[in-house]
Structure 1
Amino acid sequence: MEFTKLTELELPAAFDAHVHLRDGEMSQLVTPTIRQGGVNQVYVMPNLVPPVTTVQQCLEYRDRLKAIEPNVDYLMSLYLHESITPDVVREAKKAGITGVKSYPAGVTTNSSSGVISYEAFYPVFAEMEKQNMILNLHGEVPSTPSHAKVEKEGLLLLSSTQSPLFCLHSPPCTKAAALAAVRACGPTVAGTITAHHLSLVIDDWAGDPFCFCKPVAKTPEDRDALLQAVVRSEGRFFLGTDSAPHDQGKKRGRTRWRRGIYAGDAVGYVLDALEKGVARGVVREEEISLEGLEGFFGGGEEVLPGEE
């Protein structure tokens, strides 16, 4: 396959392991774009306002999404909260909910109800393991005087290296150190990579709010490491766009920029980034295969637990 000379490439519909579809009018706008972008299965994040902390809320949210676009498979998650108990985990599993998302308090959009200490949730995690459910970790901790938030990605994930739970690293891997953190963990830990972090670097977002997201794009070296991980993933990395739509008029705020990029055409963005990576010599053309692309875009079929 001569990747750089291809004008047409046929791939199965993709699985996006990290999307924010919001609710209300915004959800009505963005949910129909899922299939338009070449995706037919998505893992939906629960950080709405209020957060999705009960099975009933989660199922009602899924019903609202299905009413907008019924031809998408919505994998749903609960927001890790003090109200989540082992009984709730069992109820969620029975209802077909895929996992639970952990947000450390105060680190990202709508995370004010997030976790301060994990010790109280050990019984919850034990029950999730029994039920073969996914624990999604937002791998970021609040800034301290000695560490800016931009450098904190991956530290939370490193603390989970001994856990038998299946974890998806979320927010996505955006730098070489985060990739190394995933690889250092056991085989039940995987990482997601966005489309936009394969193209954007610091200079792109520093002066443009429409390129600004959290976690922010890093250095060209980090971007290139992500491109290499796409083609050398060995089942450890796959697509998770972290698509996070914001109202265009509010994206550039008076006091701060809204964090988030919506990648509605994610498959095309990834292929474009790979083509440019080949041209720069970051990845070799012979490394890019249909099998490898199908694994990255359809990683959910291989790594989600409990699948037959």
Structure 2
Amino acid sequence: MSEITIQTPDDWHLHFRDNDMLLETVPATARCFQRAIVMPNLVPPITTAEMAVKYQQRILAARPQGSSFEPLMTIYLTNSTSEADIEAAKSAGVVAAKLYPAGATTNSDAAVTNLAAMTPVFEKMEELGLLLLVHGEVTEQHIDIFDREKVFIEQNLSNIVTRHPNLKVVFEHITTADAADFVLESSDKVAATITPQHLMLNRNDLLVGGIRPHNYCLPVLKRQTHQQRLLDVVQSGSAKFFLGTDSAPHEKHRKESACGCAGCYSAWSAIELYTQVFDELNVLDKLEAFASHHGADFYGLPRNNGTITLVKEDWQVPAQIKLPGGDDIVPFYAGKTVHWKVKG
């Protein structure tokens, strides 16, 4: 197959950042995605309905002229989040709340430290139909970074889904066989997003031949056996898994430093790379459901009306991109050849 047309896809997990960065990140996503779930871990984090609405307005202002791209907003859960905050968020059109264990990833220091105390908040979300999006890692220093997703499932996530059986939970950017199997074994209220980097790479791509800072993300890349399990569930066509890039931009100097930031900025090539993966797995017939159907269905939103067409054509991801503020950013897969391209 040298050309494929699919319903316009959505990105069910990404980071736009804020201010001048939006002039780069919003158009890069809007070029091929109709909607995107926008992460709230700014500084300060988006913790209220009012903050979410104002952030949405800044994103809409950065859309290309004529674009109908729609940002879907989330709020950031903290120890202080109340049931009233959840009610206000729902009334303002916020679709989900994000659970970051404190210190798990970029700008997560203000996040939840006591999951047990969140029970009333989860109950209100369950009642109102607000989804819970989970960064599923524990943060205790004595737990190996490669085991933190597995331990989070055992210590936390299994309890949440048991105690709140009607709460829709998205296990974000899963990286392990443990996570894939947990989602498959859970009820139809539990689903997961999978990133392009976790389908294409494993920890050898981070550490062999020198540290590769632009492949560093959180959750960190895992061993090849876990990568293969993610490929297996994608290949299966299960409706429990859908597209979420976790596209997360950082300036080049913040990635290439003594304490480099976590995140892969994949918006420039995401849908093309997913297509390449599905082509290599010989399941291009399952791409549309993964990219355009499963996420919308799980969120209870209508599928998009439009289409995009991808053609089998080689092109090269830019080595770096100049940001509006003058800094450079290195996109995911920088300088490498991608074998599929959005037509037009």
> Does the alignment pair 1:84 with 2:81?
yes
Which residue in 1 is equivalent to 2:177?
A: 176
Q: How many pairs does the alignment contain?
A: 289
- 2:79/2:113 contact within 8 Å kept: no
In the aligned structure 2, how far is the partner of 1:61 from the partner of 1:200? 32
Which residue in 2 is equivalent to 1:59?
A: 53
Which residue in 2 is equivalent to 1:239?
A: 243
Q: TM-score, normalised by structure 2?
A: 0.80
Q: CA deviation at 1:65?
A: 0.3
Q: CA deviation at 1:293?
A: 1.7
**Secondary structure of 1:29's aligned partner:** helix
In the aligned structure 2, how far is the partner of 1:233 from the partner of 1:109? 31
- Structure 1 segment 197-212 matched on structure 2, within 5 A: 197-206=198-207, 207-212=211-216
**Secondary structure of 1:100's aligned partner:** strand
Q: RMSD of aligned C-alpha atoms?
A: 1.7
Q: 2:111 aligns with which of 110, 114, 118?
A: 114
- 2:275/2:287 contact within 8 Å kept: no
**Secondary structure of 1:159's aligned partner:** helix
In the aligned structure 2, how far is the partner of 1:216 from the partner of 1:233? 25
Letter of the 1:21 partner, please give it: F
In the aligned structure 2, how far is the partner of 1:144 from the partner of 1:95? 38
User: Unmatched 5+ residue regions in structure 2?
Assistant: 304-344
Higher alpha-carbon deviation: 134-143 or 224-233: 224-233
In the aligned structure 2, how far is the partner of 1:191 from the partner of 1:159? 17
Q: CA deviation at 1:307?
A: 6.1
- 2:278/2:287 contact within 8 Å kept: no
Q: CA deviation at 1:231?
A: 2.4
Letter of the 1:27 partner, please give it: L
**Secondary structure of 1:294's aligned partner:** helix
Letter of the 2:99 partner, please give it: S
Higher alpha-carbon deviation: 228-237 or 54-63: 228-237
**Secondary structure of 1:192's aligned partner:** strand
Which residue in 2 is equivalent to 1:166?
A: 168
Letter of the 2:157 partner, please give it: L
Which residue in 1 is equivalent to 2:41?
A: 47
Letter of the 1:296 partner, please give it: F
Letter of the 1:262 partner, please give it: Y
Letter of the 2:44 partner, please give it: P
In the aligned structure 1, how far is the partner of 2:125 from the partner of 2:161? 17
**Secondary structure of 2:35's aligned partner:** strand
Q: TM-score, normalised by structure 1?
A: 0.89
Q: CA deviation at 1:236?
A: 0.5
Distance of aligned partners of 1:223 and 1:52 in 2 relative to their CA distance in 1, 3 Å threshold: same
- Structure 1 segment 118-267 matched on structure 2, within 5 A: 118-145=115-142, 147-154=143-150, 155=152, 156-162=156-162, 163-164=164-165, 165-170=167-172, 172-206=173-207, 207-254=211-258, 256-264=259-267, 265-267=269-271
In the aligned structure 2, how far is the partner of 1:251 from the partner of 1:50? 21
In the aligned structure 2, how far is the partner of 1:78 from the partner of 1:62? 11
In the aligned structure 1, how far is the partner of 2:218 from the partner of 2:227? 15
- 2:106/2:261 contact within 8 Å kept: no
Which residue in 1 is equivalent to 2:310?
A: none
In the aligned structure 2, how far is the partner of 1:79 from the partner of 1:233? 31
Letter of the 2:222 partner, please give it: K
In the aligned structure 2, how far is the partner of 1:100 from the partner of 1:234? 24
Q: CA deviation at 1:103?
A: 0.7
- 1:143/1:149 contact within 8 Å kept: no
**Secondary structure of 1:222's aligned partner:** helix
Q: CA deviation at 1:149?
A: 1.9
User: Unmatched 5+ residue regions in structure 1?
Assistant: 1-5, 279-284
- 1:107/1:142 contact within 8 Å kept: yes
In the aligned structure 2, how far is the partner of 1:228 from the partner of 1:246? 31
The Cα offsets for residues 263-289 of structure 1, whole Å up to 9 and x where unpaired, read as 11211111212333x3xxxxxx3xx25
In the aligned structure 2, how far is the partner of 1:269 from the partner of 1:103? 27
Letter of the 1:96 partner, please give it: G
The Cα offsets for residues 159-179 of structure 1, whole Å up to 9 and x where unpaired, read as 333122100102x11121110
Distance of aligned partners of 1:113 and 1:139 in 2 relative to their CA distance in 1, 3 Å threshold: same
In the aligned structure 2, how far is the partner of 1:250 from the partner of 1:84? 31
**Secondary structure of 2:217's aligned partner:** coil
Distance of aligned partners of 1:14 and 1:307 in 2 relative to their CA distance in 1, 3 Å threshold: closer
In the aligned structure 1, how far is the partner of 2:238 from the partner of 2:197? 21
- 1:161/1:184 contact within 8 Å kept: no
Identity of aligned residues (%): 33
**Secondary structure of 1:31's aligned partner:** helix
Letter of the 1:157 partner, please give it: L
- 1:196/1:269 contact within 8 Å kept: no
Q: CA deviation at 1:158?
A: 2.9
**Secondary structure of 1:151's aligned partner:** helix
**Secondary structure of 2:114's aligned partner:** coil
Q: CA deviation at 1:209?
A: 0.7
- 2:275/2:284 contact within 8 Å kept: no
Q: CA deviation at 1:75?
A: 0.9
Q: 1:300 aligns with which of 290, 295, 298?
A: 295
